[in-house]
Amino acid sequence: MKNITKFKHKKVLVLGLAKSGVSAASLLHKLEAFVTVNDQKPLSENPEAQSLLQEGIKVICGSHPIELLDEGFEYVVKNPGIPYHNPLIKRAIEKGIPVLTEVELAYLVSEAEMIGITGTNGKTTTTTLLYEILQEGRQQPLIAGNIGTVASEVAQTAKKDEKMVVELSSFQLMGIDEFSPHIAIITNLYDAHLDYHGDINEYWKAKANITMNQTEEDYLIINHDQEHLRDVVEFTKASIIPFSTTEEVESGAYIKDGSIYFKQDCIGELASVVLPGEHNLENILCAVAASKLYGVSNDSIMKVLGTFTGVKHRTQFVKEMNERKFYNDSKATNILATKSALNAFNGPTILLAGGLDRGNDFDDLIPHLKNVKLLITFGETADKLNETGQKAGIQTIIRVDNVEKAVPVAYEHSEEGDVILLSPACASWDQYRTFEERGDIFIKAVHSL
């Protein structure tokens, strides 16, 4: 870990705990900052805050008192989930106090080079796939970020000859200052998280922050098929490596004659790839491009592509039962992700969908429902999805209470050759704490049949 002095003897407020807040507070304490932690949850119900208190860190719990900022803090490190319209954050910005997220701390202390991966969809699959390819290619990768282990925790033990593969959200990227990965990847950009960002321009700008500090010695891997994405990053100084599923981009990664190419080099045949779905071609090309920049052999790349079946909760194959295949795509928390999942299958499909109502309709799904023979809905958006299903001409639509009850209903109405797909097109928070919890309940229900 680099022994930086940027925060030494500086007053730093860590706002919001969870895993990232705990890691940030502990790291700042090691860096000899004067740390104060503020979390909404009362201390008596807050084991994370209690553990930090035992480390000698000042803890204030139960509310976010605006007068905290009168104590002369020089930095605020906030949990990514806390929006910028939070009164305390707004006041900090008005006072000119830098507001950071813990990925900035990770970058500042990491001895290892970083690969940053962001985008609307495909981040986790790309991150995991690239990690496995680099591991097969003996590049000593580490994996961190939204995918599981907090980046600032991994960075503390990262070594110079290692590489940190970090999944990054727009929430995290809004809170950076010096952060600059050697390789940045933007998988794609669509409308998302507008309830947090306010408008699409702010969301896209946050994503583009991944390249704002890159230099001519760095690389930016971007989706050539999205013209607006090229505009978003027109200010980059990094060398642009495009990828495309539709065109031959000779300076990047692409598909040609049923094979995967990087520049003029044929990596291997698509027929050898086991990861399902057209949408996953983008993720594969991202991972191929980044791994080739590190000199990984084609044999190592194809060995992984021949065995990698996906990430849990991302069009994850769960089980085949009496010639019915069950897939868990609980991570599909928006319409675009569900479109991609539906397009991955050509045969008759039973779709399980529903969740948190964010005010949108689902008519954009209609062209992608052509193979759906049965729609099973649940959650706050059940009625809206029912209407969309009717417009799409789906003959059988059934509303149930939750995911657990949807599974036996789906099986009861299924036939040999059917795909039973959980792809909710909605966040989970109306009924479940996380999309992972929702997916785990689906998996358990499948195995209970």
Q: Which of 241, 246, 306, 238 is nearest to 270 (CA)?
A: 306
Give percent of the chain above pLDDT 90. Answer: 81
Question: For residue 170, what pLDDT is reported?
Answer: 86
Say if residue 48's pLDDT is above 60. Answer: yes
Q: List domains and CATH numbers for the chain.
A: 11-100 (3.40.50.720), 103-305 (3.40.1190.10), 316-447 (3.90.190.20)
3-state percent helix, strand, coil for the chain, nearest multiple of 5: 35, 20, 40
The answer to which of 163-167, 234-238, 252-256, 410-414 has the lowest mean pLDDT is 234-238
Mean pLDDT of 68-90: 92
Mean pLDDT of 286-304: 98
199 confidence band (pLDDT: 50, 70, 90): low
What does the pLDDT look like over 307-344, one tens digit per residue? Answer: 998 888 888 889 999 999 999 999 999 998 899 899 88
3-state secondary structure 293-315: HCCCCHHHHHHHHCCCCCCCCCC
Q: What are phi and psi of 27, to 5 degrees?
A: -65, -45
Instruction: Check: CB of residue 412 under 8 Å from CB of residue 284.
Output: no
Greatest mean pLDDT among 13-22, 177-186, 269-278 lies in 177-186
The answer to which of 7-16, 43-52, 190-199, 381-390 has the lowest mean pLDDT is 190-199
Compute CA distances 419 → 45, 189, 249, whole Å. 43, 28, 35
Mean pLDDT of 45-70: 93
Task: Give the C-alpha separation, 357 to 209, whole Å.
Answer: 29
Mean pLDDT of 27-40: 96
Instruction: Check: CB of residue 315 under 8 Å from CB of residue 256.
Output: no
Say if residue 360's pLDDT is above 80. Answer: yes
State both tokens at 331: 């991570």
State both tokens at 3: 């022994």
What does the pLDDT look like over 201-240, one tens digit per residue? Answer: 788 788 899 999 999 999 999 999 998 887 778 889 999 9
Question: For residue 406, what pLDDT is reported?
Answer: 98
Please spell the DSSP secondary structure of 127-159, one letter per residue: HHHHHHHHHHTT--EEEEETTSS-HHHHTTT--
Instruction: Check: CB of residue 157 under 8 Å from CB of residue 29.
Output: no
Positive or negative, the CA dihedral 425, 426, 431, 436 is positive
Annotated binding site for ATP: 119-125
Question: For residue 206, what pLDDT is reported?
Answer: 87
1 confidence band (pLDDT: 50, 70, 90): very high
Helix then strand count (H, E) for the chain reads: 16, 20
- Reduced to 3 states (helix: H, G, I; strand: E, B; else coil), residue 63 is coil
Question: For residue 192, what pLDDT is reported?
Answer: 52
Side-chain-side CA neighbours of 134 within 13 Å: the count stands at 25
Annotated binding site: 119-125
Mean pLDDT of 282-303: 98
Task: Give the C-alpha separation, 293 to 311, whole Å.
Answer: 24
pTM of the entire predicted model = 0.80
The strands making up 324-328's β-sheet, listed across from edge to edge, are 316-321, 324-328, 419-422, 349-353, 372-377, 396-399
Strand partners, 297: none
Say if residue 69's pLDDT is above 80. Answer: yes
Task: Give the C-alpha separation, 384 to 130, whole Å.
Answer: 38
Task: Give the C-alpha separation, 349 to 394, whole Å.
Answer: 11
- Reduced to 3 states (helix: H, G, I; strand: E, B; else coil), residue 54 is helix
